[in-house]
Amino acid sequence: MKPLVIFSHGKESGPWGRKIQALAALASDWGAEVFSVDYRLPSPQSGTFHAECERRVAQLLAHPVAAGRPLVLVGSSMGGYVSARASATLRPAGLFLLAPAFFLDAYAEPAPAPHAGHTALVHGWGDDVVPPEHSIRYARQHRCSLHLLDGDHRLNDALPAIAPLFAGFLARLPPAT
């Protein structure tokens, strides 16, 4: 069964930004079907940061995933938080998180445990939105792979370094059938 890679964008970005397009192409080459959730849709609940996060988690969990189908969740910033939260229910084979927004006061659960076969984090040393120390703390706490790159929160300039990390991440997962 063809693997499914679901992308979750950050709070201020969209479902098919530069990073997602590049990583989706790699996932397609790996043999996966790709889907990027559009969280920009207006919602009657979206008034507070916490409510917005909960809406996004529910939206990701509502996406159909066939039983037994290999699943990879990829999230950036708030999308990383959303992906980690959803992993408790979805139990993906892989969780690839870019500058994940962990340990922020606005969240009810500041650092949800990863529930995946393999979890990797990528963070920029120059991130002024979510300090890289948050990913270091998370990776240490959950024994995840961690890659610290020369980049800011958006990580667009680090994309040439992220692409081979993602390809290597996918190579560690069960192959497409």
How many residues belong to the chain? 177
* CA pair distance 99, 53, nearest whole angstrom: 16
| Three-state secondary-structure class, residue 131 | coil
The region that residue 133 occupies, defined by phi over 0 for left and psi between -120 and 50 for alpha, beta otherwise, is alpha
- Assess contact for 107 and 81: CB atoms under 8 A: yes
Q: How far is CA 132 from CA 77, 90, 110, in A?
A: 12, 27, 15
In the DSSP assignment, the letter for residue 48 is S
39-75 pLDDT, tens digit per residue, is: 987 655 456 777 888 899 999 999 999 888 899 999 9
152-168 pLDDT, tens digit per residue, is: 999 999 999 999 999 99
* Fold that domain 25-172 belongs to in CATH: Rossmann fold (3.40.50)
Give the residue extent of every domain in the chain: 25-172
User: For the whole model, what pTM was predicted?
Assistant: 0.94
